[in-house]
Chains A and B, each alone.
Chain A
Amino acid sequence: MTRRLVWPLVMTALSAFLLGPLILVVVFSFNSNELISFPMGGLSLRWYHQLIGDDAFQAALLNSLAIALPTAFISTVTGALAAYTFAEWRTRFGLPALSVLGLPVLLPPLVIAIALVVLFARWLDLPLGRPAVICGHVLVTQPFVAAVVAARMASFDFTVLEAARDLGASRFQTFVKVTLPQIRAAIIGAALIAFALSLDEFIIAVFTIGGGNTLSTFVWGKIKTTLDPSINAIATIMLAMTVSLTLIALRLTRYRG
């Protein structure tokens, strides 16, 4: 009897531990009180209003989007091309090549961040800023894109490409009319994942952004100075964005064409 109760209890405790803080953040973001504590005041959008009026937040949001969009675009193009090419080789070199591409995921982000700072500031003598952050983010998001696309390519029938050529299609027409429609969902899903990862990323951003903030470094700065409930609002916004993006991505990539 007791044994049967142990696991449900452990699971409940774990869930509460994992999800509790998240729920609190969301709940407090709608709290009208000045302090993040119980008892709660009334329900209000006060902190969201305050955020939208805050220039620093706007700048951080703009920075984050100006980083996440190019990151998603670049890493989707390079990651998808790499995965496609490795799959097209259809040899035993494909998988090792993909693994090498995935190495940045295994490296601590701190190491990547420091390496980028050294590269930009010391060697290339370029200023830090958005391009540096984008470089770092492409490095860590591209493997995810490649993995998603490679998974799709595993069930891709390459005979269709020869069939299309045989029926008069050029290489380009074959890609547009035969290849792309079949792997489009995986590519869009991969792009959304890359976008969400870039939006969330903190360590590389904080090292290489130079001046200014992204959403994550903005929150970090705020936490250090004031415990302003508006950080709950930012956290809730980011949570909603990443969760919905990831859900869409998961739905899309589960598509079997």
Chain B
Amino acid sequence: MSEAIRAGEAEPLLRLSAVSKRYGAATALHPIDLAVTKGSFTAILGPSGCGKSTLLRLIAGFTEPSTGSIEIAGRDVTRLVPEKRPTNMVFQGYGLFPHMTVAENVGFGLTIARRSRSEIGERVAETLALVRLEELAGRPIQALSGGQQQRVALARALIMRPLILLLDEPLAALDLKLRQAMQTELRRIHKETNGTFVFVTHDQGEAFSLADNLVVMNEGRIEQIGRPQDVYIRPKTLFVSQFVGDTNILEGTRRSGVVELAAGPRFASAGPDGKVTFVLRPETVRIRPAQDLPSSPIAGITGTIEELHLLGDGARITVTAPEGHQLIVRLPNPRFGDGLAPGIRVAVDWADDALTEVGAP
């Protein structure tokens, strides 16, 4: 018994194997593999048209894959119709039933499943309490605000106790304040229901604040999968480094274990010879006025401050090196006495591990 449970935990709850989707000659999704563990909160992040919504629709069963198979809890659901899958979805436009009240919307799935009136009543009340909409049970859908409709859509899916809750850009239609509040709510509900959530978004801030597992997609391919902080610190591709946060791209050449960046610095780095690309997060760059330099040469670059933007919670500085290379530096806490201003000559450098090599674009 306990062994079976342990085996069940080792198995991912959702497994996609070589799943692809073509529409005629156009490929929406190249063959991908993806595993989602039970209890995780997975964000599928990518620009519009990257195939992330297609991926979600494949999991929900609204689209059949051209190749590959989809398994949920060890069961092959590739050819299963959406109504038979243990998944429920929160749709981007919510898709609430306009001719029903809030309670009727939330109870719809159980009504279809022919549950008893009392059970439906109980679970509707319980789920509405979970999304904090108890008072609105009898209201017609049209009388609700966008944020409230969002919660109804969430409750309507959650009441089915899905093995996997799918959310398609769930917060896209809400304004900033409401979006932040709903992010907190989603995290709380994820914890309280002990559920497995997979959501699609194009907003990296949303992905980072919600997810514990990040899938970055581009042009129908998965670029990187990992914990959000790992993806941020160690992007695998140029696309990921640029899509997820601000970045500096440094190109160079490697010859027998020594890299020489076009912008100047040389350092030891193992790998095959040839052209290389490194990325450098702006907040990992150190900066100081050039006259403070010790006489010995440093690993960094010297240049002139081109622009200095104060951002309220920090500053964004653009440094131009003599050869025209530009570097963006972010300082979390600019001190105005430290002599940084446009036109000033500065030296910038970074810790050895701040540079991350990425695959060719």
Contact = CB atoms under 8 A, between A and B. Distances in A.
Contacts of A177: 108, 112
A189 B334 CA distance: 69
Nearest to B87: A166
A209 to B, nearest CB: 42
Nearest to A167: B109
B93 A157 contact: yes
A159 B113 contact: no
B108 A167 contact: yes
Contacts of A159: 91-95
Interface residues of B, number: 24
A124 to B, nearest CB: 42
Interface stretch (A75-83, A168-176, A199-207, A246-254): A168-176
A159 B60 CA distance: 14
A203 B300 CA distance: 93
B239 interface: no
Interface in A140-192: 157, 159-160, 162-170, 173, 177-178, 181-182
A26 to B, nearest CB: 40
B156 interface: yes
B88 A166 contact: yes
Interface in A26-56: none
Interface string B101-132: 00000001100110000000000000000000
Nearest to B89: A166
A167 B161 CA distance: 11
Contacts, number: 64
B1 to A, nearest CB: 31
Contacts of B62: 162, 165-166
Of B60, B62, B112, most A-chain CB atoms within 10 Å: B112
B208 interface: no
Nearest to B84: A168
A166 B93 contact: no
Nearest to B60: A166
B82 A165 contact: yes
A221 interface: no
Contacts of A170: 83
A171 to B, nearest CB: 9
B99 interface: yes
Interface of A: 157, 159-160, 162-170, 173, 177-178, 181-182, 257
Given A162-B62, A257-B99, 18 more contacts: A157-B93, A157-B98, A159-B93, A160-B97, A162-B91, A163-B97, A165-B82, A166-B82, A166-B83, A166-B89, A166-B157, A167-B108, A167-B156, A167-B160, A169-B108, A169-B112, A170-B83, A177-B112
